[in-house]
């Protein structure tokens, strides 16, 4: 399966990955509406971590044996059969945050925009290239078979 590969040495901390993640998961998928009209604004599922000049964009690593999937008390966290991505079924998530507790990468966040569900990367619903990798200006995120 293809994964998003992080090339930390090329990350320039521009956060375009976060911006395009928001657009991709917005209702309109229009960058201006997503930021200026839609409320509450959806959360980015990729986060740029920074320390001095070093930065990298982190999203779910799509573990082969995901701790979040094992820890999920409601069965919301599951592997999508079509895309192979670990995704959260928002209808079943109860917001217990166990997935956040066990995620070794710290790649799951609380979505507190009124829904109280776990927010994580879904590889853009099986898109050819996820939005973060497609829009990274310095190829610090690539989508490859690994």
Binding site for another protein (CB under 8 A): 7, 9-16, 19-20, 31-32, 34-36, 52-53, 135, 137-140
Would you say 61 or 135 has its CB closer to another protein?
135
Would you say 21 or 77 has its CB closer to another protein?
21
Least spacing, CB of residue 29 vs another protein, in Å = 13
Least spacing, CB of residue 30 vs another protein, in Å = 10
Would you say 54 or 101 has its CB closer to another protein?
54
SS3 annotation, the chain: CEEEEECHHHCCCCCHHHHHHHHHCCCCCCHHHHHHCCCCCCCCCCEEEEECCEEEEECCCCCCCCHHHHHCCCCCEEECCCCCCEEECCCCCCCCCHHHHHCCCCCCEEECCCCCEEECCCHHHHCCCCHHHHHCCCCCEEEEEC
Would you say 33 or 92 has its CB closer to another protein?
33
Least spacing, CB of residue 139 vs another protein, in Å = 6
Q: Is the four-CA dihedral 112, 70, 5, 49 of positive or negative sign?
A: positive
Least spacing, CB of residue 129 vs another protein, in Å = 16
């Amino acid at each position: 399966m293809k994964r998003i590969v992080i090339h930390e040495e090329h990350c320039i901390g521009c956060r375009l990955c976060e911006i395009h993640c928001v657009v991709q998961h917005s209702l309109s998928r229009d960058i201006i509406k997503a930021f200026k009209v839609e409320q509450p604004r959806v959360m980015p599922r990729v986060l740029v971590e920074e320390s001095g000049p070093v930065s990298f964009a982190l999203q779910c690593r799509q573990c082969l044996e995901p701790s979040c999937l094992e820890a999920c008390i409601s069965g919301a966290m599951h592997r999508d059969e079509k895309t192979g991505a670990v995704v959260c079924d928002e209808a079943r998530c109860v917001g217990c945050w166990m997935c956040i507790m066990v995620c070794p990468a710290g790649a799951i966040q609380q979505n507190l925009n009124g829904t109280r569900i776990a927010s994580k990367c879904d590889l853009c619903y099986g898109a050819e290239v996820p939005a973060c990798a497609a829009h990274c200006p310095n190829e610090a995120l690539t989508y490859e078979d690994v």
